[in-house]
Amino acid sequence: MRAGVIHEMRLGILIMAAGKGTRLHSKRAKVLHEIGGRPLLDHVIAAAARVVAPHDIFAIVGHQAEAVETAVRSCGVRFVRQEDQRGTGHAVQCAEEATRDYDELIVLSGDVPLLQPETIIALRDFHLRQQAAMTILTASPKNPVGYGRVVRRKADAPEVTAIVEQKALTPEQEQIREINSGIYAFRRSALYAHIGHLRPDNAHREFYLTDLARILAAAGERIVAIEAEDPNEVLGANTIAEMMDLDREMRSSAARRLMAQGVTIFRPETVVIDPAVEVGPDTVIEPYVQLLGGTRVGSDCRIRSYSVLDRASIGDHVLIRNSCVIAESQIDKGAEVGPFAHIRPGCHIGEGAHIGNFVETKKTRLGAGSKANHLSYLGDAQIGRGVNIGAGAITCNYDGVGKHETIIEDRVFIGTDSALVAPLVIGEGAYVGAGSVITDNVPADALALGRARQTNKQHWAKNRRALLESRRAETKK
Ligand code: UD1
Ligand code: CA
């Protein structure tokens, strides 16, 4: 069966994403604003791609078209340009040529990002069963203000006679609670036979796709509506405040899912958890934690307040203390990190290892049981097992031009406040004396001292005090 073909019917999905988003007052195109850590359009494409192949998805782009295309190109969808944005009806009109090969079209809005694939499938199946020319996905949210309202032929009958935009509602129609979600299914032939009849005779001087309900009904075509089971799924985002409502909904549903799987989240309304995050049972997440991207956390961990984990992979029994920043790195079982540690991309902290306060690591492997407990920078370093990095030790990995690697073998002891000038190999079991500047490799089991030798001057302080006191006595005379 060819992708997009269902019961010998060819189905394509259009996503309207060309609008400017005037009500956002933002320089960025609306569909590129992020909720749940990803652009609005990304969420809509992900849902559509669970119903048809990416090749059968057409994103209609216009405002900041290049930026929008670049942001989602890797999804494999196709693009249709709407050069001037003259309304939702005009957007769909622009896709006529591109969608020639399809029998049925589902139209989604790029700014309705919580929509689930199951709901698109329910819309498709209802549309086909009803043999309708147009099927409208509707909802009855608590507050319908701002949405177009759906006028049914009779309450409880599936047939629709019109969609009326907020600004055109009669006082009587203002009582209607059923809204147009901006999501539709069309028999393609009926859609394009009538789309040329749209007129911009409305408050915004735009071609409204919604007017097709009235036009098709008047032409004797069958227009029906199906109500979404969960009205939250079809909430749109026209302002930043509405977008943040959707973001909160998405993140709190991620928190609820994790709690249902045995994760303890204190004050869940304060945490920010992206939808793809996974956390094992009996892990405790404290207030104001952020778990972002595809972060994975094992079981029996504790993530203390104010820590931000972005695309991190955390084993079981790990303790992340307060205010750590961990990105694109792996922390193995039983390790302890923080407080106030910065684990930058490309790090691997081994089993049972400790990273303490004010330690920054980048592209560094710290072997099992090794410790860097205080005030260090470890960059481009391969550090073995059972190593102790003293307070304030620094890998000097950058010479102003290139980056160089530091290799510290198993059971090495790096004294406090050492500067390790890379490239460098410190052999197994070696010692580096505190305060050393190490510029040459250190053989295994050696002691390296890279500092001026200490000299003690006997009685120097006492003699100086005596001298100063006798001078003062002279001047008083
Ligand atoms: C639209 C519906 C309204 C519905 C609501 C649901 C119309 C006229 N009204 O209103 O009945 O209740 O959605 O959220 O359709 N777009 C383009 N090209 C354009 C104009 C818009 O691609 O020329 C895109 C936008 O980027 C957006 C989508 O179409 O993703 C919807 O447009 P928007 O202006 O947000 O419509 P609403 O006023 O929300
Ligand atoms: Ca909208």
Query: Which protein residue's CA is at the shortest distance from atom 34 of ligand 1?
Result: 19
Q: Which residue from 154, 159, 114 is spatially nearest to 136, judged by alpha carbons?
A: 159
Residue 17 Cβ contacting ligand 1 at under 6 Å: yes
Query: What is the structure's pLDDT at 156?
Result: 87
- Mark residue 94 as left, alpha or beta (left: phi above 0; alpha: psi -120 to 50; beta: remaining): alpha
Instruction: Report the C-alpha gap between 92 and 50 in whole angstroms.
Output: 22
Query: What is the structure's pLDDT at 358?
Result: 98
**327: helix, coil or strand?**
strand
Q: Nearest-5° angle of CA 264, CA 268, CA 272?
A: 110
Ligand nearest to the CA of 92: 1
Instruction: Report the C-alpha gap between 321 and 339 in whole angstroms.
Output: 5
323-333 residues labelled b (16+ CB within 10 A) or e (exposed): bbbbbbbbbbb
Query: Which protein residue's CA is at the shortest distance from atom 1 of ligand 1?
Result: 182
Query: What is the structure's pLDDT at 477?
Result: 80
Residue 236 Cβ contacting ligand 1 at under 6 Å: yes
Whether 281 and 263 have beta carbons less than 8 Å apart is answered as yes
Residue 19 Cβ contacting ligand 1 at under 6 Å: yes
Q: In angstroms, what CA-CA distances link 15 with 19, 65, 82, 184, 409?
A: 11, 13, 12, 11, 55
Q: Which residue from 399, 444, 392 is spatially nearest to 418, judged by alpha carbons?
A: 392
The stretches in the chain having pLDDT less than 50 are: 1-2
Ligand nearest to the CA of 20: 1
**462: helix, coil or strand?**
helix
Q: In angstroms, what CA-CA distances link 163 with 108, 138, 179, 213, 223?
A: 16, 11, 9, 6, 11
Beta strands in 208-353 (DSSP E): 223-227, 264-265, 272-273, 278-279, 284-285, 290-292, 296-297, 302-303, 308-310, 313-314, 319-320, 325-327, 330-331, 336-337, 342-343, 348-349
- CA Rg, the chain, in Å? 32
Global pTM reads 0.90
Instruction: Report the C-alpha gap between 418 and 395 in whole angstroms.
Output: 8
Residue 91 Cβ contacting ligand 1 at under 6 Å: yes
DSSP state, residue 453: P
Residues in the chain: 477
pLDDT tens-digit series, residues 423-477: 999 999 999 999 999 999 999 999 999 999 999 999 999 999 999 999 999 998 8
Handedness of CA 44, 50, 51, 52 (dihedral sign): positive
Q: How far is the CA of 213 from the centre of ligand 1 (A)?
A: 15
Residues involved in catalysis:
374
Ligand nearest to the CA of 19: 1
Q: How far is the CA of 130 from the centre of ligand 1 (A)?
A: 25
Element (DSSP H or E) covering residue 190: helix 188-194
Whether 450 and 438 have beta carbons less than 8 Å apart is answered as yes
Instruction: Report the C-alpha gap between 428 and 51 in whole angstroms.
Output: 57
Residue 87 Cβ contacting ligand 1 at under 6 Å: yes
Between helix 40-48 and helix 65-72 the angle, nearest 10°, is 50
Whether 223 and 132 have beta carbons less than 8 Å apart is answered as yes
